[in-house]
Structure 1
Amino acid sequence: MMLGLVTPIAQQIAAMETELPVPPIVFGIIAFCCLLAMMAIVLSIGKGRPHS
């Protein structure tokens, strides 16, 4: 394996980190709302179908 590349790659990734435009909790809330919307879509499509 190329163990010599591990440190430079890790340093490049660390250097790429930037400040988020909004707090992380906002991304969490958006993701939660997207999951709720997808669940509502699945439930609405599956209504009235007989169980298999």
Structure 2
Amino acid sequence: MSELLPLGSPAPDFTLEGVGPEGLLQVRLRDYRGRRHVLLVFYPGDNTPG
């Protein structure tokens, strides 16, 4: 998805790899839907010019 979402619209579902107490795991946005709040934060990664 490359277009901007309108303000207030729900984020599309996505899956990413994360690290938990037991090692690597898959994190899906849909697993958190319906909970009180979900905060998505994006930043340029380490060692990038951004």
Q: What TM-score do you get using the length of structure 2 for normalisation?
A: 0.16
- Which protein is richer in strand relative to its size? 2
- Which protein is richer in helix relative to its size? 1
Higher relative contact order (CA 8 A, sep 6+): 2
Higher alpha-carbon Rg: 1
Q: What TM-score do you get using the length of structure 1 for normalisation?
A: 0.16
